[in-house]
């Protein structure tokens, strides 16, 4: 008898604990005077934290959860500013004001020994679709192309899909998949036949960047839009930004804010 | 009288503290079990909706996995897991059995004292280290061999790494099984004029068969569940591998790769992948337990 009473009590305790855990899973944003909440893109999160650290106009809380969650948070008001590292689809735009706070270029990379230094957008698309399989076709050595991509759901892949593949063209299922920019870079640096893509800030000297349609990714080329393979980093507010949110966005767009973004490898919103 | 009363009080308080300890232990045991129950409930709650909305058959037998386009077919990953696990057993069973027989039957006691802890140490190496070695040495080796080729990240690379990783499981449990065979079996066989090798293959191995089968199945469970090392060397392409040199994605890799940005139905589909894994490991453990338990039926 005693034993079963103990077990019943323990069971009840765990059930209650699990229920209360469920209901408090989504943190409510704190919104007192001067405190603003940012939520969304994990790509934007580190930069937002940098801005928040330097900003003196009030307390900033940064929560990550992905661009889609950020757009939703801005729409339903659970965050003052939603962060998105991808362009909004038409259905998502209703009622939201978008502010581009920085631009992130996506660089196409190959092995340092690969003689191919430029590709057209069409060639790149056909390589990723699995239609071009040998480097010879695009002016390189007679070697099989090892196509490497990011995992489904990654913002970098989203942007690549959008600008390179376009609607209806899919990345070949035979492409190698990795979940880390750093890991992808390493894979490319090891395999002479490899091609991959990483964000501009992830470049290093052990790999080579390929010009797309004759344009190399660079800060000015990304900011001016000449290099098309890029994604906007967006702050989203319900209606025009006001009050504390407006003050923070103004800071982010100021010289100081943009310089910080540049130091982290992002391209500024516009070139002064 | 005083003494007796004091003694009684002492006994009573000892009984009380006994009962308290018993209850504390019971509570601890229950919390362990209820954790399992909660995990089960949680993955079912998170994963089942997408299985139901997609239809279990479309989910398990669908050939296309593209969550951003609403396609949730797990079959390529189920096949990938099967291929890599089978490959791991091809590598692991001969090595494991040879190791177990050597250690249990052939090696002198001194060598055994040295070798057995070494094999147990294999189990203590973190899987990311296996993966890293695979990525740095095995993958380039496969890629650069003319007869092999391909991107290097492949079912073959994953099979070899996993084949080594299952060794401690297979060897450890097989040794237990071999050691459980009564000494009289070996003596009887030798007395009839059989050589040591004939005794091992004709008497000891058949007698230990169930334990060895259980060892292999538990090794299989280890291979199915391994994640990090596999992600690092398998290439993770969502496709049916055309050869062992082609990249594959396993069920565990699918969850670990895509969890960081998955939301909504995509996240549910990853939990549903977890349900499939859960069922597989439940079945494997069940079979292993049953095979192992039935050893008592062997006459002797």
Q: How far apart are CA B62 and CA B41, in angstroms?
A: 25
Cα-based torsion angle of the residue sequence B49, B55, B57, B61 in order, rounded to the nearest 10 degrees? -80
Asked if the interface predicted TM-score (ipTM) of this complex is over 0.95, the answer is no
Minimal Cα–Cα distance from B269 to chain A, Å? 13
Closest Cβ opposite residue B153 in set A161, A173, A176: A176
Q: A178 and B246 in contact by Cβ < 8 A?
A: no
Percent of chain B whose predicted confidence (pLDDT) is above 70 = 96
Does residue A122 contact residue A138 with C-beta atoms inside 8 Å? no
Size of interface A-B (CB pairs under 8 A): 92
Q: What is the pLDDT of residue B3?
A: 64
Question: Closest-CA residue in chain B for A153?
Answer: B261
Q: Tell me the chain B residues in contact with residue A39 when contact means C-beta distances shorter than 8 Å.
A: none
Between helix A45-54 and helix A243-253 the angle, nearest 10°, is: 100
Report the C-alpha gap between A202 and B269 in whole angstroms: 30
Average pLDDT, chain A: 83
Beta strands A81-84 and A36-40 are parallel
Q: How high is the pLDDT of residue A29?
A: 41
Residue A3, pLDDT score: 46
* CB atoms A158 and B34 under 8 Å: no
Largest CA distance in chain A: 82
CA distance B23 to chain A (A): 7
- Highest mean pLDDT of the ranges A18-32, A242-256, B83-97, B136-150: B83-97
pLDDT tier for residue A225 given thresholds of 50, 70 and 90: confident
Handedness of CA A39, A40, A46, A51 (dihedral sign): negative
Cβ–Cβ gap B31/A69 under 8 Å: no
Q: How confident is the model at residue A248 (pLDDT cuts 50, 70, 90)?
A: very high
Label residue A270 by pLDDT band (50, 70, 90). Answer: low
Nearest CB to B263; choose among A11, A68, A178:
A68
Average pLDDT, chain B: 90
In 3D space, the residue among B155, B118, B160, B120 whose CA is nearest the CA of residue B137 turns out to be: B160
Segment B236-263 mean pLDDT? 92
d(CA A3, CA A1): 5
* Cβ contact, residue pair A191, B151, below 8 Å: yes
Q: Tell the burial category of B146 from Cβ atoms under 10 Å away from its Cβ (0-12, 13-18, 19+).
A: exposed
Rg for chain B (alpha carbons), in Å? 25
- How many Å apart are CA B51 and CA B71, to the nearest integer? 12
pLDDT digits (tens, 9 = 90+) for B226-238: 999 999 999 999 9
How do strand A36-40 and strand A60-64 relate by DSSP bridges? parallel
Please indicate whether, in this complex, the C-beta atoms of B256 and A68 are within 8 angstroms of each other.
no
Query: Are A85 and A44 spatial neighbours (Cβ–Cβ below 8 Å)?
Result: yes
In chain B, which residues have their Cβ closer than 8 Å to the Cβ of A154?
260-261
Distance CA A221, CA B298 (A): 77
Q: What is the mean pLDDT of residues A211-231?
A: 90
Mean pLDDT of the A112-123 span: 94
The whole-number pLDDT of residue B75 equals 96
| CA–CA distance, A46 with B293 (Å, rounded to integer) | 54
* pLDDT of A220 above 90: no
10 Å Cβ neighbour count for B245?
20
Angle between helix B155-165 and B209-225 (nearest 10): 130
Q: Are A177 and B249 a contacting pair at CB < 8 A?
A: yes
- A197: helix, strand or coil: strand
Higher confidence at residue B169 or residue A269? B169
pLDDT, tens digit, 9 for 90 and up, residues B88-138: 999 999 999 999 999 999 999 899 889 989 988 988 999 999 999 999 999
Range with top average pLDDT, A185-189, A197-201, B160-164, B281-285: B160-164
As a whole number of angstroms, the distance between CA A130 and CA A111 comes to 19
Nearest to B261 among A7, A18, A154 (CB): A154
To the nearest whole Å, the CA of A209 is away from the closest chain B CA by: 21
Sign of CA dihedral A162, A166, A167, A168: negative
Nearest residue of A to residue B235, measured between CA atoms: A176
Using an 8 Å CB-CB cutoff, list chain A residues near B146: none
Q: What is the pLDDT at residue B198?
A: 94
A32-63 burial, b at 16+ Cβ within 10 Å, e below that, comes to eeeebbbbbbbbbbebbebbbeebeebebbbb
Position A8 pLDDT exceeds 80 = no
Minimal Cα–Cα distance from A34 to chain B, Å? 30
Identify the residue among B151, B158, B231 best suited for mutation to test binding to A, counting A beta carbons within 10 A and taking the highest. B151
Residue of chain A with shortest Cα separation from B256: A179
Alpha carbon of A182: minimum distance to chain B alpha carbons (Å): 12
In angstroms, the separation between the Cα of residue A176 and the nearest Cα of chain B is 5
Token digits for B295? 């050893």
A143 to A121, B10, B127, B137, B259: CA distances (angstroms): 21, 85, 33, 21, 34
Q: Are B154 and B235 in contact (CB under 8 A)?
A: yes
């Amino acid at each position: 008898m005693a034993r079963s009473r103990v077990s019943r009590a323990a069971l009840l305790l765990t059930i209650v604990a699990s229920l209360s855990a469920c209901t408090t899973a989504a943190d409510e944003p704190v919104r007192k005077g001067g405190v603003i909440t940012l939520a969304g893109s994990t790509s934007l999160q580190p930069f937002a934290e940098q801005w928040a650290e330097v900003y003196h106009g009030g307390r900033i809380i940064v929560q990550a959860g992905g661009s889609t969650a950020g757009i939703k948070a801005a729409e339903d008001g659970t965050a003052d500013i939603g962060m998105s590292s991808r362009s909004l689809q038409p259905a998502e735009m209703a009622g939201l004001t978008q502010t581009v706070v920085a631009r992130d270029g996506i660089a196409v990379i190959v092995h340092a020994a690969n003689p191919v230094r430029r590709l057209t957008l069409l060639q790149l698309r056909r390589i990723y679709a699995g239609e071009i399989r040998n480097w010879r076709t695009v002016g390189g050595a007679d070697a099989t192309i090892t196509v490497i991509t990011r995992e489904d759901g990654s913002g970098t892949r989203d942007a690549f899909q959008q600008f390179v593949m376009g609607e209806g063209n899919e990345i070949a299922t035979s492409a190698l998949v990795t979940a880390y920019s750093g890991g992808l870079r390493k894979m490319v640096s090891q395999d002479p036949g490899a091609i991959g893509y990483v964000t501009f800030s992830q470049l290093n000297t052990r790999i080579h960047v390929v010009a797309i349609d004759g344009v190399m990714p660079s800060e000015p080329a990304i900011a001016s839009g000449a290099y098309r393979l890029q994604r906007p980093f967006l702050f989203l507010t319900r209606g025009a930004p006001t009050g504390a949110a407006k003050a923070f966005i103004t800071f982010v767009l100021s010289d100081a804010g943009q310089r910080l973004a540049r130091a982290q490898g992002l391209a500024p919103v516009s070139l002064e | 009288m005083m003494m007796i009363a004091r003694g009684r009080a002492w006994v009573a308080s000892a009984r009380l503290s006994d009962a308290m300890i018993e209850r504390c232990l019971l509570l601890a045991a229950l919390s362990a079990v209820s954790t399992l129950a909660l995990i089960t409930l949680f993955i079912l709650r998170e994963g089942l909706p997408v299985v139901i909305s997609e239809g279990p058959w479309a989910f398990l037998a669908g050939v296309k996995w593209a969550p951003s386009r609403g396609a949730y077919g797990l079959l390529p990953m189920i096949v990938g897991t099967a291929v890599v696990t089978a490959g791991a057993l091809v590598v692991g069973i001969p090595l494991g059995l040879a190791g177990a027989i050597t250690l249990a039957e052939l090696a002198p006691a001194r060598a055994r004292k040295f070798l057995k802890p070494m094999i147990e140490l294999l189990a203590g190496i973190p899987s990311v280290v296996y993966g890293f070695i695979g990525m740095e040495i095995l993958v380039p080796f496969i890629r650069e061999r003319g007869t092999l080729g391909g991107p290097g990240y492949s079912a073959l690379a994953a099979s070899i790494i996993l084949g080594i990783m299952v060794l401690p499981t297979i060897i450890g449990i097989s040794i237990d099984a071999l050691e459980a065979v009564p000494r009289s079996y070996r003596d009887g066989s030798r007395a009839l004029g059989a050589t040591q090798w004939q005794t091992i293959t004709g008497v000891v191995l058949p007698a230990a068969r169930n334990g060895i089968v259980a060892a292999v199945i538990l090794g299989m469970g280890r291979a199915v569940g391994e994640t990090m090392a596999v992600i690092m060397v398998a290439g993770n392409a969502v496709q049916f591998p055309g050869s062992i040199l082609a990249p594959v994605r396993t069920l565990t890799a699918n969850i670990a790769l895509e969890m960081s940005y998955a939301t909504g139905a995509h996240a549910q589909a990853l939990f549903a992948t977890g349900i499939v894994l859960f069922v597989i490991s439940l079945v494997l453990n069940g079979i292993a337990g049953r095979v192992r338990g039935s050893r008592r039926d062997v006459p002797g």
